[in-house]
Structures are given as C-alpha cells and as structure tokens.
Amino acid sequence: MTTVSDTGQDEATYEIAPDLAYQRLGIVNVIFYGLPKQDWVLIDAGLPGTAGIIRKAAAARFGVGVKPKAIVLTHGHFDHVGALRDLAEGWDVPIYAHRLEHPYLNGTSAYPPPDPSVGGGMMARMSGLYPKAPVDVSRWLKTLPEDGSVPEMSGWRALHTPGHSPGHASLWREADRLLVAGDAFVTTKAESAYAVAVQKPEVHGPPKYYTPDWGSAETSVKKLAELEPETVVSGHGPALQGPELRRELHALADNFKRLAVPSHGRYVGAPARFDGRGTRYVPPKQGSPNVAIIGAFAALAGSWFLYRGLKKRRTVQNTVQNDLRGQNGDTRNEEGVQKPDAPEVERSLTVGRSAEELYSLWLEPDTLPKIMNHVAEVRSGAEGQMHWQMKLPLGQSLEWDTHVTEARPNELVHWQSLEGAALPNEGRVTFRPAPAERGTVVTLKLEFNPPGGALGSAVAKQFEAVPKNLVSKALRRFKSLAETGEMPTLSSNPSARGRGDNV
C-alpha cells in the first residue's frame, strides 16, 4: 500500500494534492484545503492545546495572519475539536458540521461514553478517561447544506457517514477521487498506542472504543468503498493511495463484522440512539472479563500522557512548548539538572478574588474533595493529610496519602505523597496578582510517577505528558467555587447523561 509522503514525523505538514495537505498532531490529523498563499479551509481541529501549532502550519502554507474562510468538521469528538474554540475565537469564522453533530458542538449534549472493554491496545483501555463534555461553539456554528455541497470548498461533497458519531461527515471530490474519511474508517490501528505512535499504515474500521452504532458504521464503510477512492486521508494514520488501498477498503467493507466489530462491548449488541437533540439512549455498561489488571494500570498510566506522549523531541517542539505547557513549564530542578521524564501538567486561570481569599479557600478541608473528585475521591485526614482513592476498571483502585510540605501565606501551597504511595505524586498551587487588578492568577501543577514497574516505565518512556483537561477542570471548579460558592454541574441537562453514566 502506498503511503502519501508521511515520514512519521509529528507536526509535519504533508501535501497530498496541490490544494490539500494534512498535519499530524500526535494521534490525530488536521487538514488544510486551499492552494498555498490563497483562500483556505481548515478541516477538523485537533487535540486540546494544539491551536498554536495549527496556526503556525497555516501561516507557513497560506501566509502570516491569513485566516481561513471556514472550519469544516467531520465530527465533534474531543480529538477533532480540541483546539476548535481557541481557533474560532481568534479567527471568528463559520464552523460547519452536519446537523446531527450540533448538539455536541453547542453544549447541549455529550456523546455516549467510550467503551474501554473492546480491547485492541492501550488507546482503547484508557478511553474511559478521555474528555467527555461537549464543546460550545454555537456562536460560529452552521449546518452543512442538505444538498451535500461544502461551503468554501468548490467541487467537494459532504457525505453523511454515521456510526462513529451520529452526524459524522466524510468529504469527497470526484474529480481526483480524493476522500477525507474522518473516522468513518482509519488508516492505522487506532486502539493500539504502538500503531498510532509509529503510524503503521493499515485500513481499519472506526476506532472501536468510540463507535456506538456498528450497524450504521458498516453501512458507511460500504458507501465509501463504492466510491473507489484513489487517495484517502483519515482522522488517524497516514494518507494512503492506489489499488492496494482500494483492495483493503473493499475487504473491510465485505468483512466488516469480522474485521471491525469487537467481539464484545457495550454497543455490540445494541447501539446508542440519537436524534436532533443529541444522545437519547445509552445501553447499560457491560462487564469486561477480558481486560486484565495490567490493562487497568496501563489505562491509568496512559491516560496521563495522551497528548505529548506521541510527540517526538525535535526543535519544533521548543518553539511551541510555551503554548503546550505554559511559561513556567521548565523541568529543571533548582540545581539546573533536567528531571527524569515524570508525567506532569501545569495550567493557569484568572480568578476574580484576592490571593488572600483564594489561599484560605484552598486550605479549607472540603475544597480539594470538591474540585478533585473527577480525578479521585479525596478525604481530609489527621494533621492536614489528605487520603486519595482513584477508581480503576474491574473494581480496582489506587489509594495514597499526601501532606503539605510547604505553605507560604497568599502565595503557595505544595503537597506531596507519603512514602510508599501506590501512585507517587506531588502538587503545587500558586497565587499571584493578575494584571490590571483583575483578580488572581492561580497556577496548578500536578506531577505523577505511574505505577506498574516495567510497564509503567515503558509507558512513561512512550508517553510523557498529562492530558491538560484533568488540571484545567480542577481549576475551573476552583474558580466557580471561589466566585459563586457553587460547583458547575450537568445535573440540569438530562441529555448529557445516559442511565446514570457521565456521557
């Protein structure tokens, strides 16, 4: 099978037609449509934290400061819309998506929960901890035309290819038989961290852990195979072209149940159901007898490192490091020695309260239990200690205790796990005045050493950063608690939940 110009380097841009190029951002691709130095369109919006990388690639191809005419989405899963709001706010351009994707793009509903029990590799095992909340870009959101045309993309058609998501759209240009498949099918094994990391070229069905309707997914693959595409770029994996691509795609379509559908899983027996309001029914969670305890630890460790774990250390990383980690993300200790590759994340948020108020609030015994309950159950202990319990698959859990090692009034709180902790970790929160007396900049940093012995070491070597949503969510909760006295919730939005599960 012919791979189109993909050398396996992250963040590089590969041209597969004079007016179409794609950029690999770790586990996912974003696509640029338009001739260099002319009008252009962005297709999909990558992982959280990649807005700066996308802007840089766009500036190199189309010119500094040249914004797109539009953003077109294949679907709204977190790895395809991670930078969407940042880009929309900066560019102020329309965002087009199929009407059935709108509930997941205007904050109305969330997708059905992923299914880690489908197997296939670490990417699947850790899917239960991927971001689930919908984004809200309703200010810019527009519907792809019912006639199949694609705004600002003359000669292209949008094909409704549901299954992986209810409003999934693939883009097709008949003139050169070029297909943007999204995740209707992909060109690497999306469930495997190794395959995703090395971009091993293979035609596969949609990512199993995020596909809630296998019947529709099969119909969509058959529809795309009938097009006989010459070149394909999907949401995951390298762009492929040629007769072997078509042979593999037909093989997938003809043997979809055997090659694509998992042998067990939450959505295998019955699909989730949707309508124009979003997710309406989620099947009950199934047991996962084939997921070993080691898989649970792999899920835990791998979940910390989703984004930068697939990035190679290159000079381009230095240019975007501030965008990914914040200005205070240096990993050297006080002696200037580089620390080992311990997974860590640091984020900042401005809160409209004084440093004195926020410092006092942080030290209140019930604050951490409130703002950290999406990471672990936290309970206050004796002499200022905190007991943490993190739930894992198969009814397992990790528990550890932390204690405050340094506290500077109105400036800093630093805590660390006690010796022998199941998940050695430390955290630091700092408070500094915001510019123009707008409150206080609160910076939260968490650092973990993953469990699992040799497994943990291998995972830490392959993956080296924490998904920012865990820390960002804690900061947003702290901000809400400080400014309103209440915690944000989805409890008033029944369409954001399914049979008691956070979706």
Same domain, 70 and 170: yes
Say whether pLDDT at 316 is over 50.
Answer: no
Q: CA 494, CA 474: separation in Å to the nearest integer?
A: 23
Residue 1's pLDDT band, with cuts at 50, 70 and 90, is low
Q: Are 299 and 125 in contact (CB under 8 A)?
A: yes
260-282 pLDDT, tens digit per residue, is 999 999 999 899 999 999 999 99
* CB-count exposure of residue 372 (10 Å: 0-12, 13-18, 19+): buried
25-44 pLDDT, tens digit per residue, is 888 999 999 999 999 999 99
Residue 333 lies in a domain: no
Residue 273 lies in a domain: no
Residue 390's pLDDT band, with cuts at 50, 70 and 90, is confident
**Which long-range contacts (C-beta less than 8 Å, at least 24 apart) are formed by 394-403?**
394/288, 394/291, 394/293, 394/296, 396/293, 396/296, 398/300, 398/422, 398/423, 398/451, 400/424, 400/425, 402/426, 402/427
How high is the pLDDT of residue 188? 92
Same domain, 217 and 363: no
How high is the pLDDT of residue 388? 83
This prediction has a pTM of: 0.62
Whole-angstrom distance between the N-terminal and C-terminal Cα of the chain?
38
Residue 250 lies in a domain: yes
Range of the domain at 179: 2-268
Nearest to 432 by CA among 322, 351, 346, 329: 351
Q: What is the DSSP string of 360-391?
A: HHHHSTTHHHHHSTTT-EEEE-GGG-EEEEEE
Q: Are 368 and 386 in contact (CB under 8 A)?
A: yes
Q: Is the dihedral of CA 335, 340, 341, 346 positive or negative?
A: negative
Arithmetic mean of pLDDT, 218-230:
97
Say whether pLDDT at 120 is over 90.
Answer: no
Final residue in a domain of this structure, among 268, 290, 320: 268
How high is the pLDDT of residue 72? 98
Most confident of 95-109, 340-354, 401-415, 442-456: 95-109
Same domain, 220 and 75: yes
How high is the pLDDT of residue 438? 87
Q: Are 189 and 248 in contact (CB under 8 A)?
A: no
Same domain, 33 and 144: yes
Structural domain count of the chain:
2
Nearest to 121 by CA among 313, 267, 262: 262
Same domain, 364 and 233: no
Same domain, 248 and 393: no
Same domain, 32 and 159: yes
Residues composing the chain: 503
How high is the pLDDT of residue 417? 87
Same domain, 65 and 173: yes
How high is the pLDDT of residue 37? 94
| More confident of the two residues 275 and 318 | 275
Final residue in a domain of this structure, among 218, 243, 268: 268
| More confident of the two residues 135 and 454 | 135
Residue 286's pLDDT band, with cuts at 50, 70 and 90, is low
How high is the pLDDT of residue 380? 79
How high is the pLDDT of residue 366? 87
Residue 125's pLDDT band, with cuts at 50, 70 and 90, is confident
Torsion of CA 449, 379, 328, 476, to 10 degrees: 120
Same domain, 358 and 253: no
- CATH code where residue 364 lies: 3.30.530.20
Residue 276 lies in a domain: no
The pair of structure tokens assigned to 33 is 């449509």
Arithmetic mean of pLDDT, 208-223:
97
- CATH code where residue 199 lies: 3.60.15.10
SS in 3 state form for 425-473? EEEEEEEEECHHHCCEEEEEEEEECCCCCHHHHHHHHHCCCCCHHHHHH
Residue 392's pLDDT band, with cuts at 50, 70 and 90, is low
Say whether pLDDT at 329 is over 60.
Answer: no
Say whether pLDDT at 454 is over 50.
Answer: no
The packing angle between helices 84-91 and 51-62, to 10°, is 50
Say whether pLDDT at 124 is over 90.
Answer: no
Q: Which amino acid is at 488?
A: P
Same domain, 248 and 350: no
Say whether pLDDT at 295 is over 80.
Answer: no
Q: Which amino acid is at 164?
A: H
Q: CA 354, CA 438: separation in Å to the nearest integer?
A: 9
Same domain, 216 and 350: no
Final residue in a domain of this structure, among 214, 244, 268: 268
| More confident of the two residues 194 and 245 | 245
Question: What rounded mean pLDDT belongs to the chain?
Answer: 81
How high is the pLDDT of residue 130? 83
405 three-state secondary structure: strand
Q: Are 74 and 171 in contact (CB under 8 A)?
A: yes
* CB-count exposure of residue 249 (10 Å: 0-12, 13-18, 19+): buried
396 three-state secondary structure: coil
Residue 192 lies in a domain: yes
Same domain, 386 and 261: no
Residue 450 lies in a domain: yes
Say whether pLDDT at 45 is over 90.
Answer: yes
Residue 303's pLDDT band, with cuts at 50, 70 and 90, is very low
